[in-house]
Amino acid sequence: MKVLVADDDIVIQSLLKNILTDWNYHVLLAKDGLQALQLAEDNPDLQLFIVDWSMPWLDGLAFCQKVKKRDRFAYFIMISGRSGTDNLVAAMDQGVDDFIVKPLVAEELRVRLRVGKKIIEQERRLSYLAQYDELTGIWNRRMVLQWLQNEWIRSQREKTCLSILFIDLDHFKQINDVYGHLVGDEVLRHFCTTVSQQLRPYDYFGRYGGEEFILVLPNTEIQGADVVAERIRKVVQENPLKLDAQRKLSYTVSIGLTVKSAEDTDVKSLIQRADAATYQAKQQGRNRVATLITE
């Protein structure tokens, strides 16, 4: 893991580099706040910082504030000759996560770094779960609906088309009943991987719930959306899940398609119409695309 050491004291720099290298950290060194800021910009994956409070050009607190605006998960350990509760509180109020008074004690620093790494990992995990479906890795319901709302607003402003697909795996309960829920989970992951390979970079694909999925197609007329829907239906049917060397599990999907119209007042009407189209596809025999549009 990378760690940035920012301190204008060459002795402290050398000491920390040797210690951190022995602990298998990849160490970046900065002699002042501006150099530290440049290193942070050049290394967007850098999230662990050991920073002196008093540095030329840009002090540790100002540097911390600038980095935190870019990356709220960045973890800062402030080192300083300033002691006392007032200094500790002042640093924490400005976004510093931990505070060590010089002279440094190596084992104390090791423990504090370990805590910092755990906090970064936990925050990354929580951030991931807030946006993505844990099982399939695609957008979760909250995020795909948020993207749909954003695209709705954009289509209103720019007078562009907006289509959505509602996709439902056919007979998914039977798959769970016959093969078990673990295989059912594999089917969902396999389906999401298969569909994701068919999409444009600016399409939004998310899990609505259970075996139901939404695909948001910005700037797409109904003819183009129908081509996408039929391509997805076909590629899912033709690419079964491989269970083992001898067995494959085939499955199909029913897809409901609709496009935003002038009569729609919000995204809710769009979702309801796509859902109704999916129900039609199922009623018509499944493994097909059904389209509903307003007159």
Q: What is the 3-state secondary structure (H, E, C) of the chain?
A: CEEEEECCCHHHHHHHHHHHHHCCCEEEEECCHHHHHHHHHHCCCCCEEEEECCCCCCCHHHHHHHHHHHCCCCEEEEEECCCCHHHHHHHHHCCCCEEEECCCCHHHHHHHHHHHHHHHHHHHHHHHHHHECCCCCCECHHHHHHHHHHHHHHHHHHCCCEEEEEEEECCHHHHHHHHCHHHHHHHHHHHHHHHHCCCCCCCEEEEEECCEEEEEEECCCHHHHHHHHHHHHHHHHHCCEECCCCCEECCCEEEEEEECCCCCCCHHHHHHHHHHHHHHHHHCCCCCEEECCCC
**2-6 vs 48-52, strand pairing mode:** parallel
Rg (CA), the chain: 26
Residues serving a catalytic function are: 211
Nearest-angstrom CA–CA distance, 270 and 166: 10
Counting Cβ atoms within 10 Å, is residue 202 exposed (0-12), middle (13-18) or buried (19+)?
exposed
Structure tokens at 128: 């991931």
